[in-house]
Amino acid sequence: MSLGTSGGTGGGLLVAGTTSDAGKSVVTAGICRWLVRQGVKVAPFKAQNMSLNSFVTREGAEIGRAQAMQAQAARVEPTALMNPVLLKPGSDRSSQVVLMGKPVGEMSARGYHGGRQAQLLGTVLECLAELRGTYDAVICEGAGSPAEINLRRTDIVNMGIARNARLPVLVVGDIDRGGVFASFFGTVALLSPEDQAFVAGFLVNKFRGDVSLLEPGLDMLKNLTGRRTYGVLPFQHGLGIDEEDGLRVSLRGSVRESEVSSPVGEDILRVAVCAIPLMSNFTDVDALAAEPGVVVRFVDRAEELVDADLVVVPGTRGTVRALEWLRERGLADALARRAAQGRPVLGICGGFQILGEHIEDEVESRAGQVDGLGLLPVRVRFAREKTLTRPVGEALGEPVEGYEIHHGVAQVTGGEPFLDGCRVGEVWGTHWHGSLESDGFRRAFLREVAAAAGRRFVPAADTSFGSLREEQLDRLGDLIEEHADTDALWRLIESGAPTGLPFIPPGAPA
């Protein structure tokens, strides 16, 4: 399979959605995996991402974790070009703006959409052009919905980039939520004639049941809009790929939608993750959830820590705010009791900082001097420059890799060394995200946890988190290959949106 493009510019496609969480990220990853299996050199792209789940590339750039996952689906190394603008919320009204992998300041939503966003369009288009000049195809992901008419004037991630880069648009709808036909029709009908010309058609996601029952509706949708549906993807449990905008579980629900396999030993191991405000990189616990016999749950009440064998305090974009939340809800006292009883606690990044003695923050919260929980001999000072690294090391006799994303600089004054952090008794702390994805280390750590918890839990000897991730990405590629019209998708990527697509009134308001 090869593209018939000219002028050194690869083909492209924008995967938009009727809503947030319609499935844009997984569809983009699935298309990337399908294409690379056909021998196509493909790359993912998202102009602007809002997420607290991020990743550090080898060149030390911070990008959305979803784009790193999509790069893995495409079997290429992730770079800042694939996500030039990343917004990391710090409150309901403001976000840190990360441009080309580096933070450039905090900005209110009004300030960003009021002018700064439009100024970034040139940077975004340059990144996309560079990718299209390097790869046979670039699969772009939109954000939210292209029909957010209040934001269209400054849009650089949906129709703004589609029109500037002349990308065909595939609109994904989550039928499991209901109302997918109205969402498809309404999305097109709220776009201007110029925008509608690039909307090629639709893709139904998360369908349960007999597709033949859906087909009359798809035919009517085509008659109403002049646009076809390119596939109906079935609902599938346990895909477990990295999320972008939110936690796809309810509180007190098992992590993701994964099913817990039977334990190798006699006991299961219960892991409770404190669902602190502005929780970031909660994907760190996915590797624990992948272990047979490990049950991972997100919790927000002190009593839910009582029967946990391990409590994880995860990363956060608001360390001081999260610390206050833990105290208000009684979770701080529960963590202190666990430490005194020799019961395992793991703090990662912001969670590590919370477990320390003292925090000096004039950067993130500007709260100044704040007392931590005092469970680890660590003092933290927030620096204006963000640490973005990919460390490699050893712990518990096993090799470990990870990545660091933090403003807090930790001064460790005691305890046993642990991944550039420390350990005191059964309380562990590190700035390293992703360390639990190192299989040997994860197994050694879980053996320590099980021993301290008095559980006859045995880690599986053959669980490979990397292999499981590859299997999940292949399942996404299978979904596209088996349930989408791949020949028609290829024509879109290669040749752009069909000509002569009808205008659907009323169109965007003047």
Q: Which amino acid is at 433?
A: H
Active site residue 349: yes
Phi, psi of 97, rounded to the nearest 5 degrees: -95, 120
CA distances from 70 to 75, 79, 168, 496 (A): 8, 11, 19, 22
Q: Which residues are within 8 A (CB) of 246 and not within 5 positions of it... i.e. 6 or more apart?
A: 20, 21
d(CA 254, CA 277): 18
Beta bridge partners of 360: 369, 381
Tell how far CA 40 is from the center of its chain. 25
Per DSSP, 262 falls in state P
- The CB density around residue 21, as the number of other CB atoms within 10 Å, is 15
Longest dimension (CA), the chain: 71
Residue bearing tokens 């839990």 = 457
Q: Which amino acid is at 238?
A: G
Beta bridge partners of 450: none
Residue bearing tokens 């999260």 = 322
Helix (H, G, I), strand (E, B) or coil at 27: helix
The bridge status of strand 54-56 relative to strand 48-50 is unpaired
Q: Are 404 and 435 in contact (CB under 8 A)?
A: no
CA distances from 26 to 69, 71, 123, 357, 445 (A): 9, 12, 25, 41, 31
Q: Are 274 and 299 in contact (CB under 8 A)?
A: yes
Catalytic pick among 406, 431, 433, 483: 433
Start-to-end CA span in the chain (Å): 43
d(CA 9, CA 133): 5
The bridge status of strand 54-56 relative to strand 62-64 is antiparallel
User: 96-114 as b/e, with b when 16 or more CB fall inside 10 Å?
Assistant: bbbbbbebeeebeeeebbe
Q: Are 401 and 438 in contact (CB under 8 A)?
A: yes
Token pair for residue 219?
A: 């035919």
Question: Angle 319-328/331-340 helices, nearest 10 degrees?
Answer: 90
Catalytic pick among 140, 349, 431, 483: 349
Active site residue 433: yes
d(CA 278, CA 287): 21
Helix (H, G, I), strand (E, B) or coil at 157: coil
d(CA 178, CA 444): 45
d(CA 440, CA 456): 19
d(CA 315, CA 230): 39
Residues assigned a catalytic role:
349, 433
